[in-house]
Amino acid sequence: MPHVTGAMTPDPAVNTHCPYCSLQCGMALRPAPGEGRAEVVEVVERTAFPVNRGALCGKGRTAPAVLSSQVRLTEPLVRRPDTGRLEPATWEEALDRVAEALTGTAQAHGQDAVGVFGGGGLTNEKAYALGKFARVVLGTSQIDYNGRFCMSSAAAAHNKAFGLDRGLPFPLADVARTGCVILVGSNLAETMPPALRYLTELKESGGKLIVIDPRRTRTAEQADLHLAPRPGTDLALALGLLHLVVAEGRVDEEFIARRTNGWPEARAAAMAHWPEMVERITGVPVPELREAMRMFCDAETSMVLTARGPEQQSKGTDTVGAWINLCLATGRAGRPLSGYGCLTGQGNGQGGREHGQKADQLPGYRKLDDPAARAHVAGVWGVDPDTLPGPGRSAYELLDALGGDVRALLLMGSNPVVSAPRAAHIEARLRSLDFMAVADVVLSETAALADVVLPVTQWAEETGTTTNLEGRVILRRTAVTPPPGVRSDLEVLHGLAARLGWEKGFPTDPEEVFDELRRASAGGAADYSGITYRRITEEDGVFWPCPEEPHPGTPRLFLDRFATDDGRARFVPVSHRPAAEEPDAEYPLFLTTGRVLSQYQSGAQTRRVEELNRAAPGPFVQLHPQLAERLGAAEGDPLAVVSRRGRAVAPARISRDIRPDTVFMPFHWAGEGRANALTNPALDPVSRMPEFKVCAVRVERMERAPG
């Protein structure tokens, strides 16, 4: 069984990174002693990597288990018309079938009838190649990725306020050295445990931690102050804090005058949210609001960090904007050890959107509707800019269009049957397609619906870069020989492109792809042109933007100027509005969803790891004892949670750590406990992020099965 030895990294261990979350913890892999098989590896601490300094959570520690051929696909599968079943096929047959189906669909219904859906776990090289494949080979505008579900509201707010979107504008280690952190809607004790040490160090050095979360999570337990607002009201909470900042004379007028625009309008919007009104909206008492504001302002430096809580809302962009306004009004931005940052979620959610698999973007964070950007990227690709399609639909809108005007889909590294909002509807849309091809490591719930399944290599079996939550570009290196029968995603795209008339332009060597990506990104907002595999290895990652060498990279953004045209940050006036769906007589409770320590996202990989399944075997419904009493429910009783979109059944987990008006479900599982059967796809008007974090439900106690 793979394990952490606790030893220093020895030769011939290979330095690489965890396949899961955006912390991208460094680790090393070496052949497991006594196994006699090169493909069986164990994890060794890599203490020199600065982000996690050797620490790993259980998901990372057990990640090698998914390399085992017993749990994964090792040969292509093709659905046979006579049996209707997926059955083994050769690579030639499988790729031929995909190429024919994509071509036939485009010929019959137009190029936009072919959709492409990517994933936030794909390396930069794969995301880049997938975006290029969609726009150059398929000529479709219909491409997006599941990272849209992850942090796109923070990205939109970042762009509005600062003119640039990078998760954290500073290294994570700065968090330990600031004076006060407000952590909004993040349970990093479970989602990225090695990052908790920075908050522990913050507190050990006298800093303060404020956690805002409707639940008393393991992270909230560490806080000096925990505020538990009603789900979907943290925009009002941020406005209330800004109101108090003004009322108590804590505004940094000098900073505002020197480095920002738009304060009068933002100030007026905040002053319309007086504390007692905010208490009524959020349920957070005024004295707690005042205490939070004073903690934040009393510290010489402070930060606000947000995660999925405030972002996955139909007003996520405005909510993050309100927190940014708080930072700007108090001079907590563009200064060392102060600022706003987003704790991005998926392993390469950041890089995935920088390099072209997002519906509206080209490599280098260029905009697809910008003629100069189109000309630059088309020049690198050797095509006429006029042949590039325009922006397409966002992720949910694309999935919702399947079987309508989008009739065939190529999907890589995503499992929307579990992870999309209103998941039963999306599953029906996937089933209604004329054709779907899925490239994945395992037969996920989505792959099981495909017409062709392409088995691909994964993290430790391939080389490629990702960009972590700090904007640090890091290199995963091949440590394990993949099982015979699997190919890399780059080989898949190469094979398909060749069949569709593009013999050249889709290399299979990741470093060659990265070098092209560097050229495509040169001069863009996310400029990678000075980053090389060699530099990443020597420097423990390089922070973008990094134009041509000898540029040192940019660990800290905005210290001299913001990335707007005039170099000044922009306040964005925002006002509270309710969630798209509020509780009512029929659906009287809030549902909020999230993750648990031992599973990751849709669980496609982690649900195949025995140790993780023992720790987190299935879904549950967390509810307050008062609510349990009203329902007559005891611990473990099966509960049906019902929303306007569907129903999910899971055992009760009774806890005082949640508000009595709210239930929580983790979203990692398929089947009857699928939390996303309930969630609301109401979209943020700017980011097009669905409102995963709040919807209205009712809960019904069910009879326990006999025996």
Q: Which helix (H) or strand (E) holds 341?
A: strand 339-342
Q: Quick check: 543 binds ligand SF4 (CB under 6 A)?
A: no
Pick from 184, 193, 281, 170: nearest CA to 223: 184
| Cα angle value 437/438/441 (rounded, 5°) | 150
Q: Is the Cβ of residue 20 or residue 323 nearer to ligand SF4 in the bound state?
A: 20
Stretch that binds ligand SF4, among 21-29, 219-227, 560-568, 698-706 (CB under 6 A): 21-29
Site string for ligand SF4, 312-331 (x = CB under 6 A): --------------------
Burial class (CB in 10 A: 0-12, 13-18, 19+), 575: middle
Residues 6+ apart with CB under 8 A from 207: 176, 178, 179, 180, 181, 299
Q: Is the Cβ of residue 64 or residue 179 nearer to ligand SF4 in the bound state?
A: 64
Provide, rounded to whole angstroms, the least separation between the CB of residue 176 and ligand SF4.
Answer: 16
Provide, rounded to whole angstroms, the least separation between the CB of residue 612 and ligand SF4.
Answer: 11
Pick from 170, 521, 173, 135: nearest CA to 332: 170
Strands 86-88 and 77-79: antiparallel
Provide, rounded to whole angstroms, the least separation between the CB of residue 172 and ligand SF4.
Answer: 11
DSSP string for residues in 614-657: HHS-S--EEE-HHHHHHHT--TT-EEEEE-SS-EEEEEEEE-TT
Which residue type sits at 4?
Answer: V
Q: Which of 28, 29, 49, 59 binds ligand SF4 (CB under 6 A)?
A: 59
Q: Quick check: 194 binds ligand SF4 (CB under 6 A)?
A: yes
Q: Is the Cβ of residue 196 or residue 286 nearer to ligand SF4 in the bound state?
A: 196
Q: Quick check: 57 binds ligand SF4 (CB under 6 A)?
A: yes
Pick from 10, 5, 9: nearest CA to 61: 5
Q: Which of 16, 20, 130, 554 binds ligand SF4 (CB under 6 A)?
A: 20
Provide, rounded to whole angstroms, the least separation between the CB of residue 190 and ligand SF4.
Answer: 10
Q: Is the Cβ of residue 564 or residue 602 nearer to ligand SF4 in the bound state?
A: 602
Q: Quick check: 269 binds ligand SF4 (CB under 6 A)?
A: no
Q: Which of 14, 25, 138, 436 binds ligand SF4 (CB under 6 A)?
A: 25
Stretch that binds ligand SF4, among 16-24, 310-318, 536-544, 626-634 (CB under 6 A): 16-24
Strands 690-691 and 695-701: unpaired
In degrees and rounded to multiples of 5, residue 306 shows phi and psi of -115, 160
Provide, rounded to whole angstroms, the least separation between the CB of residue 610 and ligand SF4.
Answer: 17
Q: Quick check: 349 binds ligand SF4 (CB under 6 A)?
A: no
Measured in Å, how far apart are the chain's first and last C-alpha atoms?
Answer: 35
Provide, rounded to whole angstroms, the least separation between the CB of residue 346 and ligand SF4.
Answer: 10
Provide, rounded to whole angstroms, the least separation between the CB of residue 442 and ligand SF4.
Answer: 17
Task: Confirm if 691 and 592 have CB atoms less than 8 A apart.
Answer: no
Task: Confirm if 567 and 495 have CB atoms less than 8 A apart.
Answer: no
Q: Quick check: 21 binds ligand SF4 (CB under 6 A)?
A: yes
Strands 638-642 and 472-476: unpaired
Stretch that binds ligand SF4, among 125-133, 191-199, 322-330, 511-519 (CB under 6 A): 191-199
Looking at residue 79, the DSSP 8-state letter turns out to be: E
Q: Is the Cβ of residue 56 or residue 401 nearer to ligand SF4 in the bound state?
A: 56
Stretch that binds ligand SF4, among 14-22, 389-397, 503-511, 639-647 (CB under 6 A): 14-22
Site string for ligand SF4, 26-55 (x = CB under 6 A): --------------------------x---
- Total residues found in the chain within this entry: 707
Provide, rounded to whole angstroms, the least separation between the CB of residue 18 and ligand SF4.
Answer: 3
Q: How distant is the alpha carbon of residue 349 from its chain centre?
A: 5
Provide, rounded to whole angstroms, the least separation between the CB of residue 193 and ligand SF4.
Answer: 6
Total interface residues for ligand SF4 by CB under 6 A: 14
Provide, rounded to whole angstroms, the least separation between the CB of residue 505 and ligand SF4.
Answer: 33
Q: Is the Cβ of residue 231 or residue 541 nearer to ligand SF4 in the bound state?
A: 541
Q: Quick check: 199 binds ligand SF4 (CB under 6 A)?
A: no
Q: Is the Cβ of residue 57 or residue 380 nearer to ligand SF4 in the bound state?
A: 57
Q: Which of 2, 13, 15, 18 binds ligand SF4 (CB under 6 A)?
A: 18
Provide, rounded to whole angstroms, the least separation between the CB of residue 56 and ligand SF4.
Answer: 4
Provide, rounded to whole angstroms, the least separation between the CB of residue 55 and ligand SF4.
Answer: 8
* The two three-digit tokens of residue 240, written as one number: 């209330």
Q: Which of 13, 14, 23, 161 binds ligand SF4 (CB under 6 A)?
A: 23
Provide, rounded to whole angstroms, the least separation between the CB of residue 553 and ligand SF4.
Answer: 21
Q: Quick check: 459 binds ligand SF4 (CB under 6 A)?
A: no
Q: Quick check: 192 binds ligand SF4 (CB under 6 A)?
A: yes
Q: Across the chain, which distance is largest between two alpha carbons, in Å?
A: 75
Residue of closest CB approach to ligand SF4: 60
What's the 3-state SS for 246-311?
HHCCCCCHHHHHHHEECHHHHHHHHHCCCHHHHHHHHCCCHHHHHHHHHHHHHCCCEEEEECHHHH
Mapping DSSP to helix (H, G, I), strand (E, B) and coil, where does residue 505 land? coil
Q: Quick check: 24 binds ligand SF4 (CB under 6 A)?
A: yes
Stretch that binds ligand SF4, among 23-31, 296-304, 390-398, 678-686 (CB under 6 A): 23-31
Burial class (CB in 10 A: 0-12, 13-18, 19+), 549: exposed
Cα-Cα-Cα-Cα dihedral sign, residues 223, 227, 232, 236: negative
In degrees and rounded to multiples of 5, residue 459 shows phi and psi of -30, -65
Stretch that binds ligand SF4, among 20-28, 126-134, 588-596, 627-635 (CB under 6 A): 20-28
| Cα angle value 167/170/174 (rounded, 5°) | 125
Residues 6+ apart with CB under 8 A from 107: none
Distance CA 668, CA 658 (A): 20
Site string for ligand SF4, 628-657 (x = CB under 6 A): ------------------------------
Residues 6+ apart with CB under 8 A from 10: 30, 44
Site string for ligand SF4, 147-186 (x = CB under 6 A): ----------------------------------------
Looking at residue 138, the DSSP 8-state letter turns out to be: I
Q: Which of 2, 31, 60, 339 binds ligand SF4 (CB under 6 A)?
A: 60
- The residue ranges that bind ligand SF4 (CB under 6 A) are 18, 20-21, 23-25, 52, 56-57, 59-60, 192-194
